[in-house]
Amino acid sequence: MRRIAVFASGSGSNFQAIADAIEAGMLEADIQLLVCDKPGAKVVDRAQKLNIPVFTFMPKTFGAKADFEKEIVNELNAYNVEFIVLAGYMRLIGEVLLQSYEGRIVNIHPSYLPAFPGKDAVGQALEANVGETGVTVHYVDSGMDTGPIIEQVKIPVLPGDTRETLQERIQKAEHQLYPAIINKLLQKDIVGGIVQ
């Protein structure tokens, strides 16, 4: 069973979808740790209800990103984490984590990358008045949603869509796609730190 950590900053709907997929036997993994940069976030409550260990931190209390990432790596090592899953983690990953988990960090983004990277992808899509957007699962590199794409699905933007209605359809797609792709990745052998 692959030992994963989930990083999240908000409500944790993707975290919950991953945990539910594990419980249903659709994802062969074990969430060893939730890493959260917002101690009061709803995702922390979700993890605690599932008896999943939580590491929270406040970035502003550290001198630099490398300092809190070293703390995170220490926690990941303590739980023998093999793979990192970003699920609404609203921070760029820095060199410390990238070097420690090269090729073993994935993210899900609520757009059809390379369109609408960064924050508020749903709002960006609505503002651009496009006919479709999507969901992208990708490996993480040092850029903002620039890592190699693993899988994508397109989501139509319907006439009259609001941020809420479009986000709801995007999240529904995310909750199906992400656990399936994570499972696929974890079933493959990890060779030299890169999923082959």
46 carries a ligand binding annotation: no
- 54/132 Cα distance (integer angstroms): 36
Cβ neighbour number for residue 144 with a 10 Å cutoff: 11
**Is 129 annotated in some ligand binding site?**
no
C-alpha span between 60 and 79 (Å, rounded) = 25
Is 107 annotated among the ligand-binding residues? yes
Choose, from 46, 104, 109, 138, the residue flagged as catalytic: 109
Residue 65 marked in a binding site? yes
Closest C-alpha among 166, 97, 89 to residue 135: 166
Q: Which residues pair with 56 in a beta bridge?
A: 36
Is 2 annotated in a binding site? The answer is: no
Say how far apart CA 167 and CA 161 lie, in whole Å.
9
CB 131 within 8 A of CB 144: no
Distance from first CA to last CA of the chain, Å, rounded?
Answer: 18
- Asked if residue 3 belongs to a known ligand binding site, the reply is no
Beta strand 105-109 with 132-139 is antiparallel
Q: Is 13 annotated as a binding residue?
A: yes
12 carries a ligand binding annotation: yes
Active site residue 109: yes
Bind-site residues for (6R)-10-formyltetrahydrofolate:
65, 90-93, 107
Bind-site residues:
12-14, 65, 90-93, 107
Q: Please give the positions annotated as active site.
A: 109
